[in-house]
A and B are shown apart, each in its own frame.
Chain A
Amino acid sequence: MSRLAIALFDDEGPFVRASTRALARDFRILGQWGPYPLEIFEDHGDTRAIVWAVAITGILGAAAMFALATFSTYAYPFDSGGRPLFTWQTFLIPSTEFLALTGAIGGVIALFIKAGLTRLHHRAFDLAEVERASRDSFVLALACDTGDSANAAVALLAEAGAFHTRVVE
């Protein structure tokens, strides 16, 4: 990891202010962490894949269940009061339930992939400050290539309202 300036904020206002100012002054944001989701996080990556994963796996699951019900009805024909074998209305019931289940499974798998989960260790965990994001603080890390830019970054973060700043070599 190259040199970076890291800061802790106890409120979202100063954190958002620092992030905005950092971008305006051409600092590269290496990471943003928080104890709850913020609107500014919406700029981070396209999450349409999540919705597509839910929709596609859900529809595939429902179609598979419908196909199974149709196949098995003919594989084991059972005359129930003279009703037709292809009672598609009743096949829709388990298909609908299965749509929700397979959609959810697809969505969770997509979450793991898109959010980089199942990776139990990450370089970010080496920064003690990041742990505070799960508890009470917002964390912002800015890339600094030189000693001067590190000083400028720390000054920017402190001015925005950080209660803790540090340069990590």
Chain B
Amino acid sequence: MKPHTRPEHGRQWTLPSVRTLGDVTEIVLAPLMDRKAGRNYWFAFAASLAIAAVGATAIGWSIAVGPGLWGNNTSVVWGFPIANYVWWIGIGNAGTLISSLLLLTRQDWRASINRFAEAMTLFAVSMAGIFPILHLGRQTYFYWMAPYPSTMTLWPQWRSALVWDFWAILCYLLFSVLFFYVGLIPDLAALRDRSGKLGWRRFYGFFAMGWQGSARQWRTQERLHKALAVLAVPLVCSVHSIVGLDFAASMMPGWIESVFPPYFVVGALFSGFAMVVLIALVLRWSMGLEGIITSAHFDAMAKILLAAAIIMSASYASEWFSAAWSGEAADLALVRFEFTGAYWPLYIAMLACNVAAPQLFWVPRLRTSVRVLVGVSLAVLLGMWLERILIIMETLSTGYDPGFFRLYSATFVDFAILAGTLGAFVWLFLVFARVLPVCSMYETRKLLARERENDA
């Protein structure tokens, strides 16, 4: 990829080869309508489905036999399920946050990335929702978290963080579906009008709900889209703050910290943007979207990753400082354990991934290097997963009472479930990429029109 410099022709978010509004439609729809899925696609499809099947088997086995198959023990009671939940919901939070925040701040360049970022949210939150249910142990009773007139006159315990999570996931997932759909309606109409086969025309036509693109429809849709974005930003922040409160509302050393809610929100944005960068690179390469996902997009996203890495570094430093400042023995012991305890190599790896690796993005040339972008994004995703599991392992392995000190080691089933959700996530994305436009066509057309104006 060519390094991003502000071009002389005044266009940076679309390439000069994209000349007309029709070009945008063709670039986005041609892979869906005109081209058959290639061998690489079907290989990825089969591989991700197979991995998802392994995960599904591990989940089925866990439900049949019980949580004894996992590495969880009497001290580290949360283990992989909660770490995976926090990691997935972090990625899931980022899609809607990126889309709504960039919409409200009038960042027109969001047009090329918002659609697949929102799809990422839907799939990641769906994966996240699996884990708290699994972790219940008696999964068939998960519906007890919902308020309903039970014959036992039993109601949810509203002071429980588990009930907060239930509402956070449910409301956020359904809200994200609606937000995604409202932005998708005009593009569904484009698919309806361009589809050759009657079956597909009916399918897209049904979901397009009779959209014509009339002045009144645009006006109403745009107004609602912005209103939903206004709701989405506090919603996303609240959802991940609730996840932070799962920890911060406890009395455990390393968890009872007021910085946790904002720290978790930034962490979610951080890992989510890393995933968006990876997905953007894959889609750009595999679907020929170079004309509308340019080096300028990667330059902008890399800067956001760098900024998030700096905030994350400050959060880690504040954790160490708080322990030192308070002088609390358990907090000091925890910080000492982070650097010298049984998990220290993982902790150092986490710092290397989350703090050190994104610093490469200070160099402008590296912000548009495919290899560096892939490497740093993978490092951030790994680093954020390590952060999630370490928050759980370190605090619960030590705690206050030496009688409860117990180390944690994950089992094959733990890894199989995590891999299974990764496989299912990729598989859902592959299906999405063949059925719906991965970029918002109408917003990209508008972006192109603005860029042409600047050009003229």
Q: Does A25 reach chain B (CB closer than 8 Å)?
A: no
> Which residues in A have some Cβ–Cβ distance to B below 8 Å?
10-12, 31-38, 40-45, 47, 50-51, 54, 58, 68-69, 72-73, 75-76, 78, 80, 83, 87, 90-91, 93-94, 96-101, 103-105, 107-108, 110-112, 114-122, 124-125, 130-131, 133-137
Size of interface on B: residues with Cβ below 8 Å to A: 65
User: What 1/0 mask marks residues of chain B from 144 to 174 whose CB sits below 8 Å from any chain A CB?
Assistant: 0001000001111111000110011011101
Q: Does B179 reach chain A (CB closer than 8 Å)?
A: yes
Q: How far is the CA of A137 from the CA of B449 in the complex (A)?
A: 12
Q: Which partner residue on chain A sits nearest B242 by CB separation?
A: A93
Docked complex: B431-450 residues within 8 A CB-CB of A = 441-443, 445-446, 449
Q: In the complex, are the beta carbons of B449 and A12 less than 8 A apart?
A: yes
Q: How far is the CA of A108 from the CA of B224 in the complex (A)?
A: 8
Q: How far is the CA of A58 from the CA of B175 in the complex (A)?
A: 12
Across-interface contacts of A78 in B (CB, < 8 A): 157
Q: A45-B219, A83-B159, A124-B214 are in contact. Are A37 and B189 (CB under 8 A)?
A: no
Across-interface contacts of A42 in B (CB, < 8 A): 219
Q: Which of B21, B175, B215 contacts A10 (CB 8 A)?
A: B21
Q: In the complex, are the beta carbons of A97 and B168 less than 8 A apart?
A: yes
Q: How far is the CA of A91 from the CA of B175 in the complex (A)?
A: 20
Q: A34-B218, A135-B190 are in contact. Are A54 and B158 (CB under 8 A)?
A: no
| Main SS at interface, chain B | helix
Q: How far is the CA of A101 from the CA of B21 in the complex (A)?
A: 34
Q: Which of A97, A107, A131, A133 contacts B227 (CB 8 A)?
A: A107
Q: Does B313 reach chain A (CB closer than 8 Å)?
A: no
| Main SS at interface, chain A | helix
Binds A, one of B48-56, B113-121, B204-212, B334-342: B204-212
Q: Which partner residue on chain A sits nearest B169 by CB separation?
A: A97
Q: Which partner residue on chain B sits nearest A89 by CB separation?
A: B159
Q: Which partner residue on chain B sits nearest A94 by CB separation?
A: B167
Q: How far is the CA of A79 from the CA of B310 in the complex (A)?
A: 43
Q: In the complex, are the beta carbons of B214 and A32 less than 8 A apart?
A: yes
Q: A68-B147, A97-B238, A133-B212 are in contact. Are A47 and B219 (CB under 8 A)?
A: yes
